Structure 1
């Protein structure tokens, strides 16, 4: 009887092992909408569709730092509610913002939120044509030095300071997905949310991921402006070719607010693509800062930070497109 039991056990073990071996790995492409934009996530040689897991991650991020959700932690902070204990997501985004704010000498500043709203590019969509006096009035609430993290809560120097992490949150969302895939030992993926990208490994085990840069003059051109290879790096592109508005009198306002002046006017940069091995949140924030800096100040910054690579597109005086690239 004991021999029969051992045989049955051995057969059961073989069957279980065979079933495990039969689990086929495949490539997945997930598409959808999040953070007010679209995403496309491709990951290769995986055993499971992680759509539900990613939806849960996106929900957690939104509930923490989305200004478009009235009940999110950042919305509560912006309303002036006190003693809001923030989660790890908010804390990491805030600390990254502080670091890059300091590095860029204030050209990256999430406290321009009131001006973003006033110009019509935030959740309030006020679309006010601000006077110089109104801009000056709003500028007293701009400056990330006016906000600190103390005992797990955000403390503002003035209740009217308004935080807006939209210029770093998409990149951070990509980082969260990337960390999730790394934990699942997925070694090849391309994560794209609203044009920001994180690529790891190789496509088809031999070729790097191919990325098309948007033409800042012909944003609907599917052929793109330039094609680059990307592997084990993050890339973010910022530009004013999609988010802008023109008033009845012909004045153009762009979504990149200069935190030094409070103005929503174009610099001489049409687009800034930033590429680095660092987190996507970092390159997302740098791209925004460079658009506010303009071409020459960005070049000066890059001399001190050679680890950051860029493709900068700007217009010559005759309107022709020119490129400055370190990648």
Structure 2
């Protein structure tokens, strides 16, 4: 489902033989990526089927790869579209983060993402100001509104893209299902989006690894940069080291600034956010990439978020971590 590719690799401490039967793992493919769910208690076959069903339902709601999905229908329709509960949940949270980030997080950037992706795939010259301005008139999340159970848009050309929040939301939905089943210990990972609860097989907080943001467009894992404790939280990393635009001698981020219509201009290459939910961590990771360090610090302090921001420099990487994030580093 995601155009951006985020890689965070979680580490499971070796299981003691006396506890190995208490924890199980299910894994598979979903939303254009892979997933792994490690948990204690519950029936493995049932949970595998339940997780796969959740992925399919959310894909049918918000996947741009599914031509019959609700979001695909909305993007093609001229005026409005009936939406489901999952779409509404993501829409409302997106509106909230859109306002709090002063438009840095904006799912209405769909037309811009399509244009820049086309340029990247076909190695075309960068668009001029006139071309970008012609697309910017359709950008602005305030141009869509919810009327009853229908989503209405001001202009037929407006298109939404929930790729910067939908996988984080999916992780939350799976977590909610596990909670309802009474499962108290789990770690969910979907395409690098994580959500934890309870304890790992050693009876300690879950520990997850975050890789170094070195340029790599392959499927191979980068070397791990650090390991952090994830205790009943969501974690997501957004970056431009896996997915970027290389054209006319320029290395450009695939993260677009909705206000300029262009790739973000600063040297931030990676942001890892720890938040109460996967959806919040996912969305704020993208927003902080657009905002840069100083503005992100202010928002994080206000909302109680913790994050790490890695920026490129002449000497390699410069790493900033909030005080709360530092305390979680192993």
Distance in 2, Cα, partners of 1:92 & 1:63: 15
Shift of residue 323, structure 1, vs aligned partner: 2.7
Structure 1 unaligned runs (5+)? 1-24
**Alignment-derived partner of residue 96 in structure 1:** 93
Match of 1:288 among 283, 286, 293: 286
Contact 2:79–2:155, Cα closer than 8 Å, also in 1: no
Report the CA distance shift for 1:319/1:69 in structure 2 as closer, same or farther (over 3 A).
same
Alpha carbons of 1:170 and 1:325: their partners in 2 closer, same or farther (altered >3 Å)?
Answer: same
TM-score by length of 2: 0.85
After superposition, the Cα gap between the structure-2 partners of 1:320 and 1:310, relative to the gap in structure 1 and judged at 3 Å, is closer
**Aligned residue in 2 for 1:262:** 261
Range with greater deviation from structure 2 (144-153 or 49-58): 49-58
How far apart are the structure 2 equivalents of 1:120 and 1:295?
Answer: 26
**Which deviates more from structure 2 when the two are superposed, residues 142-151 or residues 42-51?**
42-51
Q: Work out whether residues 311 and 324 of structure 1, in 8 Å CA contact, stay in contact via their aligned partners in 2.
A: yes
Show the counterpart of 2:297.
299
Structure with the higher strand share, 1 or 2: 2
Could you say which residue in structure 1 is the equivalent of 2:270? 271
Partners in 1 of 2:158 and 2:79 — Cα distance? 13
Given that residues 193 and 235 in structure 2 are in contact (C-alpha distance below 8 angstroms), is that contact kept between their aligned partners in structure 1? yes
Report what 1:9 is aligned to: none
Show the counterpart of 1:239: 239
Residue of structure 2 aligned with 1:75, choices 54, 61, 72:
72
Unaligned runs of 5+ in 2: 1-20, 326-330
Tell me the distance in 1 between the aligned counterparts of 2:107 and 2:317: 32
Query: Considering only aligned residues, what root-mean-square deviation do their CA atoms show, in Å?
Result: 2.1
In 2, Cα distance between equivalents of 1:53 and 1:166: 22
Aligned pair in 2 of structure 1 residues 125, 145: CA closer, same or farther (>3 Å)? farther
Contact map agreement 1:118 1:127 (CA 8 A) in 2: no
Per the TM alignment, residue 304 of structure 1 is displaced from its structure 2 partner at its CA by 2.5
Please say which structure displays the higher CA radius of gyration.
Answer: 1
Q: State which of 138, 141, 145 in structure 1 corresponds to 2:142.
A: 145
Q: Distance in 1 between matches of 2:152 and 2:136?
A: 19
TM-score normalised over the length of structure 1: 0.86
